């Protein structure tokens, strides 16, 4: 029973990480494409909340449930697929943490522009494109981790 509860929680966490990441990227991109500061501010506000509620919870749960699963099943944490999973997880975090800050900054900038009836400034656009490109390695790393979790390659 413990194994299946841990596995269930681990799979839910992976799903939340992947789904929330994709959803946040989609909604921010759609809001950005409007060019409307009020729209960007509103969507960025929700995106920041979603990142803190869903992504942060999953980011904490994944290593806890993953290590517990490995221990419960009897895997060594030194198995190559687990080491690569951990490395990729750290890479994901290295891109995700700045992204959270960028989202909060974009929210603040867009809110200010909307309040003053101004267009989104150059700083917002620089942050957006940096945020956008930071998403690719993070998302690819999460997909690679999922592949490693499913296949558990030996060797």
Q: Say if residue 155's pLDDT is above 70.
A: no
**Domain spans, the chain:** 2-151
Per-residue pLDDT reduced to its tens digit, 40-83: 999 999 999 999 999 999 999 999 999 999 999 999 999 999 99
Average pLDDT of span 105-126: 99
Q: How far apart are CA 17 and CA 89, in angstroms?
A: 11
Report the pLDDT value the prediction gives residue 135, as an integer from 0 to 100. Answer: 95
Pair 61, 38: CB distance under 8 Å: no
Q: Is the pLDDT of residue 107 over 90?
A: yes
Tell me what the pLDDT averaged over the chain comes to: 97
Residue 154 has pLDDT above 90, yes or no: no
Question: Do 66 and 106 meet the contact criterion of CB atoms below 8 Å apart?
Answer: no
Contact criterion met (CB below 8 Å) for 134 and 24:
no
The C-alpha atoms of residue 111 and residue 83 are separated, in whole angstroms, by: 42
């Amino acid at each position: 029973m413990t194994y299946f509860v841990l596995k269930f929680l681990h799979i839910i966490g992976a799903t939340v990480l992947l789904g929330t990441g994709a959803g946040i990227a989609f909604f921010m991109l759609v809001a950005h494409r409007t060019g409307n500061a009020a729209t960007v501010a509103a969507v960025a506000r929700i995106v920041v909340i979603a990142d803190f509620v869903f992504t942060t919870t999953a980011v904490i749960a994944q290593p806890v449930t993953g290590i517990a699963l490995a221990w419960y099943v009897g895997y060594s944490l030194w198995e190559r697929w687990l080491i690569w999973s951990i490395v990729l997880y750290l890479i994901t975090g290295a891109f995700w943490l700045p992204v959270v800050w960028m989202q909060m900054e974009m929210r603040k900038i867009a809110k200010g522009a909307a309040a003053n009836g101004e267009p989104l400034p150059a700083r917002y656009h620089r942050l957006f494109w940096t945020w956008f490109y930071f998403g690719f390695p993070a998302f690819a790393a999460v997909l690679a981790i999922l592949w490693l979790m499913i296949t558990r390659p030996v060797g």
